[in-house]
Amino acid sequence: MKFNKWTLGLAAVGAVSMASAVRADEAKLSAVQTALSNTTISGYVSTSMNWELNPGNSSVGNSPGGNIPLQTGKANGFNLDVVKLSIAKPQDESPWASGYQVDLLFGPDAVGWNPSSNATGRQYTGGRQYAGGPDFAIQQAYIALRTPVGNGIDWKIGVFNTIIGYESFDAGSNPNYTRSWGWAVEPTEHTGVLGSYKVNDEWSFSAGVANTLSTGINTSNDYSTSNGSPWHKTVMGSVTFNAPSNWGWASGSAFYAGMVYGFAGGQQGTPYYRGSTFGSQGGNQVNYYAGATLNSPWKNVTFGAAFDYVQNLGGVQYTISETAGVHADDYIWGLYNTIKASDKLSFNSRAEYWEVDAKSGASLGSDGGIALTETVEYDLWANVVSRLEVRYDKVVNSDYYSAAGYILPTGVSIDKSSSVGIYANLIYKF
């Protein structure tokens, strides 16, 4: 055991004893060991193969398949998707428990994922992607605290995942590899404070306040007119109901509803010209979500459902069919089914219908489409998720093609109405 020179000097003149110095040093080690004893390190490495059957070549980017979230630039090739490293200290059961969660992302899917507000050289390109930048991102980083009020309120303070949605950023946690259009229009992360309260085994609630609805660590609104308030924040809330044991085969099913309202990247005031868009409703967007995961009489068969309604998509105004100053609303319905044939083999199906409505006071019309996805998962290796997936997207009705192309739920304009893709995905979890 090593001691510093000051401690050795005091021991030499009898000011302290070596035994007390040893005990003091052991106490310091104990404090460090205690702080680290419950820390966990986990994560995954995700790779994929993407083959776009229709359309091909340079047309991929102008099709639905070329605009699936996190698939841009991956067509017809082998890909490293992302590496995730999670470091966490979970809360214990004490009334004043504390902990933390840090999720770090590396690789192509991390580029521009959740950029810091003071990052330099960023160029906004729409949706939640930024051009350029390092292939590193902080997905989450928050302090977890508990206050002993009632059953205990659990707090997240920092950057945390959004509270709504059926799917997540982590592909291995979703039933399918490619993300849904519902996920594409939902918020992903927030910088703020979130409180959660569990009433009993059936009911739980959450509510929070954050800077913005859109991604960006420490990002605030950029209202630019005199009547815009830089203090304007995003608010969110959710409720979850878990079916009790006396529901028979449906016990364990979960029903969920939530909303997020706040600044999404537009500009305060109308009109305020910014590139090709105008500010709408103060740059605010509202997301409503309802979802369910339902067990069935067959223990290896489960169902899911999701509904997303997005009002004032992106907080901006668009020019559609030569009509300037319209805003877009989204309606997206999703159905899920999982059949677990064996411990290794499962079949995961997803069907979506989406509709984009352009509005300027009254509705001007709409585009609509479907997305059908079938995923076969067969896990041969320990800790490895291995999947093969086929996805078909089709615009089934359109009011805007003659002037603006087909409009996807993300607000992107395309000129190819359909796409078919095959995807393979391997994820090693550690």
Judge whether residue 228 has pLDDT over 80.
Answer: no
- Four-residue CA torsion sign, 178, 180, 355, 350: positive
First-to-final CA distance of the chain: 34
Q: In the predicted model, what is the mean pLDDT of the chain? A: 85
Claim to verify: residue 203 and residue 126 sit in the same structural domain = yes
Distance from C-alpha of 52 to C-alpha of 47, rounded to nearest angstrom: 17
pTM higher than the cut 0.75: yes
5 and 89 housed in the same domain: no
Q: How confident is the model at residue 116 (pLDDT cuts 50, 70, 90)?
A: confident
Of 32-41, 319-328, 342-351, the range with the highest mean pLDDT is 342-351
Answer for the pair 391, 420: CB distance below 8 angstroms, yes or no: yes
- C-alpha span between 337 and 103 (Å, rounded): 29
| Total number of domains constituting the chain | 2
Q: Is 63 found in the same domain as 32?
A: no
Comparing 10-14, 79-83, 145-149, which segment has the lowest mean pLDDT?
10-14
pLDDT > 70: percent of the chain: 77
340-347 average pLDDT score: 96
For residue 73, what are its two tokens? Answer: 């630039």
Please indicate, yes or no, whether residues 164 and 21 belong to a single structural domain of this protein: no
Split at pLDDT 50, 70, 90, the class of 97 is very high
**Percent of residues, the chain, with pLDDT higher than 90:** 64
Domain residues for the domain of 28 are 1-37
The pLDDT of residue 65 is above 70: yes
Contact 214, 263 (CB under 8 A): yes
Same structural domain, 30 and 72: no
323 close to 349: Cβ distance less than 8 angstroms: no
Same domain, 18 and 56: no
DSSP string, 161-227: E-S--S--S-GGGSSSSSPPHHHHTS--EEEEEEEEEE-SSSEEEEEEEES-SS--BT------STT
pLDDT over 70 (residue 273): no
CATH code at position 228: 2.40.160.10
Q: Which two tokens stand for residue 32?
A: 């460090």
Same domain, 23 and 82: no
My answer on whether 21 and 161 are in the same domain is no
Is 5 found in the same domain as 91?
no
Q: Within this chain, do residues 50 and 31 fall inside the same structural domain, yes or no? A: no
170 and 25 fall within a common domain:
no
Question: Based on the domain organization, do 96 and 7 belong to the same domain?
Answer: no
CA dihedral 167, 157, 313, 389 (to 10 degrees): -20
